[in-house]
Amino acid sequence: MRVYALRRILQTIPIFPSGGMNTPGKEAYTSTNIPSDENPTGSNYFRWVNPEVDAALEVAGSNFDLQVRKDAYCKIAEQIHKDVPQIYLYVFQDGYGFADTLEGYTVSTWGSMVWGAQNWKYKQ
């Protein structure tokens, strides 16, 4: 699971540190961004402290050179493999059902049940 997710992250390196919702930017998972009373909106909810990851996130999030960014994210992946800051106990499985009269519906790994609704057509 973790390797698959990291592979997907590395495939999207050009947009990874965009700072969007649920998108780790250079500060999202740093040791200084752990949720607390003083920092209730902190994103590092794993509470993982790793100075090497902090430094790699800073490099990746402040550099336009794709190779430099890729190398930084690979360093982060190595540290995740070494430290194992999260253990997946289960994976949510979404079950979708749709009518035979709906054309153009595809299940998306990344979207919600209404992903691609602009492509749906009612078949009579």
Q: Are residues 26 and 61 in the same domain?
A: yes
User: Is the sign of the CA dihedral 84, 89, 92, 93 positive or negative?
Assistant: positive
Residue 75 and residue 113 in one domain: no
12 and 64 together in one domain: yes
Q: pLDDT tens-digit profile of 100-111? A: 888 988 877 666
From first to last of its 124 residues, the chain has per-residue pLDDT tens of 344 444 444 444 443 333 333 445 566 788 988 888 998 888 887 889 999 999 999 898 888 999 999 999 999 999 999 998 888 776 666 667 778 888 988 877 666 777 788 989 988 8
CA distances, 6 to each of 2, 100, 105, 114 (Å):
6, 36, 27, 25
Q: 78 and 105: one domain? A: no
Domain co-membership, 79 together with 97: no
- On whether both 67 and 104 belong to a single domain, the answer is no
Residues 19 and 67 in one domain: yes
What's the domain range around 104?
92-124
* Residue 69, pLDDT score: 92
- pLDDT value for 51: 95
pTM to 2 decimal places: 0.55
Residue 102, phi-psi category: left (phi > 0), alpha (psi -120 to 50), beta (remainder): beta
Q: How many folded domains does the chain comprise?
A: 2
- Asked if 20 and 77 sit in the same domain, the reply is yes
